[in-house]
Amino acid sequence: MNYENYERWLKTQLLPNLPPNSVVVVDNASYHNKQYNLAPISNAKKADMQAWLTEKGIMYDKAYLKPQLYNLIKANKDRFKTFSINQILVENKHQILRLPPYHPDLNPIEMAWSTIKQYVASKNVTWNLNKCTELIKEKVAQMGEREWQILCQKVKNIEEEYAKSDHVVDMMTEQFIIHVDEESSENDTDSDGANDDSTDACSPEPGPSTSKRLCTIEGVHPL
């Protein structure tokens, strides 16, 4: 699958069959994430940078050089990031909801696909492609509205469990914050100095500070 094929399917198959004011749920597949009206990159023409900033209503000095213009773009581009499929759906008066990345457990489609794969694996002992396709269609036909409701409810239950544990995550991450102070730095320096073998292999790095050491390892040449 690529963006071109997905866009064709979206326009010719999905949109004509969507009820008005629908919400389309998508995951984070790469073909869902093609950006619309990309911000200029660092080697873009100066006029293109100025045009993008003007279009977005971002003030800039006409005397700015390209590096200054690009810094403005970098500081603001995330506010204007949108995706091509979002634009298509909004133009057709639909909404889009993106699932959080790396959370297949919050996606009922992933659960449905898992059920289908288990069904195919339990029935297909020859792993013939035509037989696989036949079994997939067979299982999809068996999965009705009731089964979909069960999967959606399961996702809601998982969401609620995540919400209940948010405070625990905050507490645990606070406990694992490591504070580096001057005393710990001195201890590290003393322990480095106590190891004669390591000092033979390392020489002080050039510069005002000698706390860092530049080590030469066989086969690796320092820059």
Render pLDDT for 8-45 as a digit per residue (tens, 0 to 9): 999 999 999 999 999 998 888 888 888 888 889 998 99
Residue 188 has pLDDT above 70, yes or no: no
Q: Give the confidence band of 128 by pLDDT, cuts at 50, 70, 90.
A: confident
CA distances from 216 to 3, 192, 213 (A): 48, 16, 10
Nearby residues of 189 by Cβ (< 8 Å), 6 or more positions away: 211
Confidence of residue 213 (pLDDT cuts 50, 70, 90): very low
Provide the pairing of β-strand 202-204 with 23-26.
unpaired
Q: Tell me how far CA of residue 197 lies from CA of 6, 40, 127, 169, 203, in angstroms.
A: 60, 52, 59, 42, 12
Q: What is the pLDDT of residues 133-169, one digit of tens each?
A: 899 999 999 998 899 899 999 999 998 988 888 777 7
pTM greater than 0.75: no
Return the pLDDT at 100: 81
207, pLDDT greater than 80: no
Question: What are the angstrom distances between the C-alpha of 156 and each of 80, 162, 184?
Answer: 30, 10, 46
| Residue ranges covered by each domain of the chain | 102-197
Better pLDDT: 112 or 186: 112
Residue 204 CA, chain-centre distance (Å), reads 40
Mean pLDDT, all residues of the chain:
80
